[in-house]
Structure 1
Amino acid sequence: DKLIGTNFQFNSAELKYIPVKYHNLPVLGNFSGSQTNTNLEALIKKAPDVLVMTSNDLGKTDKEDADKLQKQTGISVFIIDGKLENTPQAYLALGKLMRVEAKAKELFSYSYHAINGVKNRGIPEKKRVTVFFGNGVKSLDTAPAGSSHAEVIDLAAGKNVAVLSGATGRMEVGLEQVIKWNPQVILVNGEPKQDLTSGQAAKSILSDVNWSTIEAVKHQRVYSIPKSPYAWVDRPPGPNRIIGLKWVGKTLYPDYYMNLDLNQEIKTFYRLFYHMDLTDSQVKSLLND
C-alpha cells in the first residue's frame, strides 16, 4: 500500500503475476540509467515521501542522477545497493526506511539463504559449464561476465563465455563469435519490446541451422528464461534474480540440485516477494513460457 507508481507499463502476461490492486498504478518512468524517462510532472503531483533508486556500483553517475532528481522534484531520494549479493542487506535498509522491519526480515532471510545456498553448492571447477546469455530479437545481445546483468550466472557457477575486457553493460556480438565460444548452455530472454518471448527465442535457435554446430544446440541445452512479472536473470537486475539463482543453478547443474523442489520454491518466492499465491498451472506456465 506504500507504492504509488511503477517504472513501466506491464503487459497482459506480466499482470497475471501482479496483485490486482497494483494494476492501475501510474507509470512514472525510470529514474536513472541509459533509459531514464521520468515523468516529473506526474511524480511531483503524486507527492511521495521518498523516491527509491538502486545502484549496482554506487558510482558518481548514480549519485549525480539522485541529486538531480531530488532538486527537480523536491523529494528525498534514497539509493540502495543493487548488487545481487547485497540484496539481503538492502531489504533491511528498506525495511527501516519504510517502517516495515518485520517483513524486511522475512525477505532478508529468504534472500540470504538463497544466495548462500547457491554459493555453497560446491560445484568443482572442472564440472562448471560454459554459458552464453542471449537477449534481443536475434539473441545476440549479451551481458559480459562481471556485469550486473550477468550476476546470476556468475554466482550460480556458470562460466560466462562473454569475457570482454572493459565491458560493463549489454552489448551485441556476432553469431560467428558465439560459434567460436561454443557454449555448453545457452540462456535466452527474448525481446519483450518486440513481443518475442524467451520460449520463441529458444525455439528459433534450436531450429536455425546457423546455430547448429554449437554444443548447446547439439545437446538441446538452450533454455528460455522465465520472465513474469520480471525476467529471472536480469531486466531489471533486481530481487527477481533471487528465484533466478535457484532456477539457473538447477538448470546448469541438475545433479547438484536434486533435492531442490523448484516448483515449491517458486511458490514460496512469489508469495513472499510478489504477494501472489500461485497455482500449479501458473508455475508450469512460468517455466514453459
Structure 2
Amino acid sequence: MQQTLFALLMLMRNNEGIATIKAVAVLAIIMIAAIGASFTLKPTLASPSSQNTLVDLAGRTVTIPQSVNRIVVLQSYWAEISCTLGAAEKIVGIGKDVATSVFLPQYVTNKTNVGSLFSGINIETIVALNPDVVITDFGYGKAAETIQALESLNITVVALTASSFKDHLSAITIIGKVLKADLKAEALVNYLENQYSALISVSSKIPDSSKPRVLICNLDVWGQGLIYAYSNSSYGRAVVDAGGINVAYSEFPDQSSPKVNLEKILAWNPDIIIVTGRENSSLSNQLNLMEGTAWTQLKAYQEGKVYTLLNGAKDRASYYDWTPRMIVGLYQVAKIIHPDLYSGINATALAAFLMQNYYGYLNS
C-alpha cells in the first residue's frame, strides 16, 4: 500500500495535466480511506466481563441467556427470593414443596408442578414449559441426575444451597443476576448483611467460657428412635453465629444434619435445646412424645431450657428458612441463647420491615 501511494505521488509530479492530477488525488484519498478502514472495521470481540456468566453455589460456571422471562423453580425458598426481587411473574413452573408455601402469591403456588428431587422431576413437563432457566438445590435426592438431564437438553440450570448465612446472601445475588434484578438484589443483600454484622459484633466478643452448649434439632424421625441434629448447615451454624457452642458440630463437622439416637444426646447433655418444626401443632405433639423417655433427664429439660422454633414456609410466624426471613430466625436463636445480650433487638420489628419492604406482593 505504501509503495502504491509513492507511485501515485510521483505520477502527480511528472504529469502536468490538471485533470490527471485531480483524478490521481481522488484515487489517493480513496486508498487512504481504505487503509483507515482496515484498522476500524475489524469485528469487535465481546470482552469476558460482558458475557453473562456466573458461578453457582455448586461451583459450576453457568452461561445465562441474555433474556430470562420464564423460569422453573424447584424449591420454595428460591421461589420466595425470586418474588422478593420482583420477578414472580417469570415463574412458570414449580417444585412440589413450592405449592405449600404461605410466603408466595397464589398465582405462583398454582403454577405447573414438576415434582421434587426426592420422588423425581418430570423432565418432559419442564421441557413443555420452555424455561430459560431452572433453579434448584443440589447435593441430595435426584438432584445430580435431574441437572444432567436438563443440561443434556440445553436447558440452563443454576444450582444453589445455603450452608451458612453468607450462602444465603450469595444465593440472593446469584438469583438477582439470573433475573436481571441485580440492583434489587444488591439492596436486599446490603440490608441483610448490615443486620448480620450487627449480630456478629455482639457474639464475637463473647468469651468461650460464657457460651452455652446448644443442640438445635428436629424430631421428625423420632418414630425411628432418631433425632436430626443440625451441625454443619445454616441451621447449625446459626448457633455459632449467635454466640453458642453447637454440640453436634465437634463430632459431625462434615455433616449438615446427622441422625443421632437419644443416647448420643444424653452424652452431649446440652445446656439449651432448640427444636425446629414447620407447625406448632406438630412440635407440641412431638415434645409430648418425648415426655416418657430419657429426654426428661437432660439438663436443658430439667432447667426449662427446651425451646421451639418454627422453620420452613408453612406458617406466617416462621422465619428460620433459606430466604431473607432467615435474618429474623437468626436473631430469634440469638435471643434464646443470650437473652441478656440481645435484649435490645426487636425481632418483630425486623420482620415487619422485611414484610413491608420486600413481601408486599402477599397483600396484592
Give TM-score, length-normalised by structure 2: 0.62
Task: State the match for 1:286 in structure 2.
Answer: none
* Per-residue Cα deviation, 1:36-80 (whole angstroms, up to 9, x for no partner): 622212211111111123458xxxx97886344311x43111234
Task: State the match for 2:214 in structure 1.
Answer: 131
Q: Measure the CA separation in 2 of the matches of 1:267 and 1:191.
A: 20
Task: State the match for 1:115 in structure 2.
Answer: 196
Task: State the match for 1:260 in structure 2.
Answer: 345
Task: State the match for 1:7 in structure 2.
Answer: 95
Structure 2 residue 216 is matched with structure 1 residue 216: no
Task: State the match for 1:141 in structure 2.
Answer: 227
| Cα offset, 1:255, TM superposition | 0.8
5+ residue gaps, structure 2, are 1-88
1:177 is aligned, of 247, 258, 264, to 264
Task: State the match for 2:4 in structure 1.
Answer: none
Q: How many residues align?
A: 264
Task: State the match for 2:72 in structure 1.
Answer: none
Task: State the match for 1:285 in structure 2.
Answer: none
* Per-residue Cα deviation, 1:232-265 (whole angstroms, up to 9, x for no partner): 445xx55543322111111211111111111111
The correspondence of residues 50-61 of structure 1 with structure 2, limited to 5 A, is 50-54=133-137
Task: State the match for 1:87 in structure 2.
Answer: 168
**Any idea what SS the aligned residue of 1:4 has?**
strand
Q: In structure 1, what residue type is equivalent to 2:311?
A: K
* Per-residue Cα deviation, 1:59-105 (whole angstroms, up to 9, x for no partner): xx97886344311x431112346342133243233222211223212
Q: In structure 2, what residue type is equivalent to 1:5?
A: G
Q: Measure the CA separation in 1 of the matches of 2:202 and 2:254.
A: 28
Task: State the match for 2:9 in structure 1.
Answer: none
**Any idea what SS the aligned residue of 1:260 has?**
coil
| Cα offset, 1:277, TM superposition | 6.5
| Cα offset, 1:214, TM superposition | 0.9
**Any idea what SS the aligned residue of 2:274 has?**
strand
* Per-residue Cα deviation, 1:140-178 (whole angstroms, up to 9, x for no partner): 422353335522223222211113246413222111221
The correspondence of residues 1-289 of structure 1 with structure 2, limited to 5 A, is 1-9=89-97, 14-15=101-102, 17-30=103-116, 35=118, 37-54=120-137, 66-71=147-152, 73-80=153-160, 82-83=162-163, 84-122=165-203, 123-135=206-218, 136-138=220-222, 140-162=226-248, 163-165=250-252, 167-190=254-277, 197-205=282-290, 207-208=291-292, 210-229=294-313, 232-233=319-320, 237=322, 239-275=324-360
Distance 1:41 1:93, change over 3 A: same
Distance 1:179 1:157, change over 3 A: same
**Any idea what SS the aligned residue of 1:176 has?**
helix
Task: State the match for 1:287 in structure 2.
Answer: none
Q: Measure the CA separation in 1 of the matches of 2:97 and 2:232.
A: 29
Q: Measure the CA separation in 2 of the matches of 1:9 and 1:78.
A: 18
5+ residue gaps, structure 1, are 279-289
Distance 1:37 1:157, change over 3 A: farther
Q: Measure the CA separation in 2 of the matches of 1:213 and 1:263.
A: 33
Structure that is richer in strand per residue? 2
**Any idea what SS the aligned residue of 2:96 has?**
coil
Q: Measure the CA separation in 1 of the matches of 2:348 and 2:288.
A: 23
Mark the structure with the bigger radius of gyration.
2
Distance 1:49 1:189, change over 3 A: same
Q: Measure the CA separation in 1 of the matches of 2:289 and 2:191.
A: 36
| Cα offset, 1:181, TM superposition | 0.9
Structure with greater contact order relative to length (CA < 8 Å, sep ≥ 6): 1
Once superposed, what is the RMSD of the aligned Cα atoms?
3.3
Q: In structure 2, what residue type is equivalent to 1:129?
A: P
Distance 1:155 1:37, change over 3 A: farther
| Cα offset, 1:270, TM superposition | 3.5
